[in-house]
Amino acid sequence: MPTATAPRGMALRFYRYCWLHYRRNWKGTIVISVANPLLFLIAIGAGLGTLVGSDVAALGGVSYLAFFAPGMLAAASMQNGMIESAFPVSYHRMPGRAYPVAVATPLEPVDVLNGHALFMAVKVAIGAAAFCAVMFAFGVATSPLAALVLPAAALTGFAFAMPVTAWAVTLPDVRPVQTLFKWVVMPLYLFSGTFFATTQLPEAAQHLVALTPLWHGVELCRTLTLGTATWAGSLTHTAYLSAMALAGYLLARRNFRRHLHP
């Protein structure tokens, strides 16, 4: 008779496999998931940002580095969430790879999903923690609320990871993944408030941008870092991202069962 903790233990088995696989391949991902965002922060925020100065109307009277850093943190977390889900999931679900092999054992598709989702969440949090360490070293975050920016960034990344996971497990191969970064990641980077205040956009475009998930992540991280967060705003952003993560997870559960146990 299976115990109540058996499903949890099964998920942890696949979680441990993910770490074993990562220890053998971590050098190939460390640059794009950690080094690239940090270079963006240093080059644009601390370098080019000195030429921008502080525009009271557009930036709220703070330096460009203080404005840019939390936005880049959210955007980097989004990117890491997609990196940890899109290619790995589409790769592992191919015949002979980790997913089909795992479900041929006592592990169920939901165990594979839960184990891999836990790994994604930890990886996104680690990347966000590295970014936060550099951001704090620059003296950007001085508000006590900045202590909450790490879970906010991790939630942002996970909110993207789950819907992408639900999509990636349906792919026959990894080739469609490239279109995701070309047509989703780059536009969100450019039109989410990461690099410039969205108030500089036309009013209609501002309303459209406010519907995107990255904008909510950027606003949540930025207001916490600058100490301008409100209960209503923070709860709205958190609820949006949590709902997106939950919806993605529920869809992923269905798709994992459908495609791993056809």
The residue to which tokens 């939390």 are assigned: 70
* Tokens encoding 11: 């998920």
Place of tokens 């939630």: 155
d(CA 246, CA 112): 17
Q: Shortest CA distance to 240 belongs to which of 154, 159, 158?
A: 159
CA-wise closest residue to 38 among 181, 135, 158, 142: 135
Quote the CA–CA distance of 120 and 190 in Å, as a whole number. Answer: 24
| Alpha carbon of residue 169 to chain centroid | 18
Q: How far apart, in whole angstroms, are the C-alpha atoms of residue 38 and residue 61? A: 24
Q: Indicate the DSSP class of residue 94.
A: S
pTM of the model: 0.89
- Strand, helix or coil for residue 54: coil
Task: Kindly give the residue spans of alpha helices, DSSP state H, lying in 31-108.
Answer: 36-40, 49-52, 56-59, 64-92, 98-103
pLDDT in tens, the chain (262 residues): 344 445 568 899 999 999 998 887 766 666 666 677 777 777 776 666 666 655 545 667 788 888 888 999 999 999 999 999 999 999 999 999 999 999 999 999 999 999 999 999 999 999 899 889 888 888 887 789 999 999 999 999 999 999 999 999 999 888 889 888 888 888 998 889 988 888 888 999 999 999 999 999 999 999 999 999 999 999 999 999 999 999 999 999 999 999 997 6
Q: What does the buried/exposed string (b/e) look like for 73-86 if buried means 16 or more CB atoms within 10 Å of the residue's CB?
A: bbbbbbbbbbbbbb
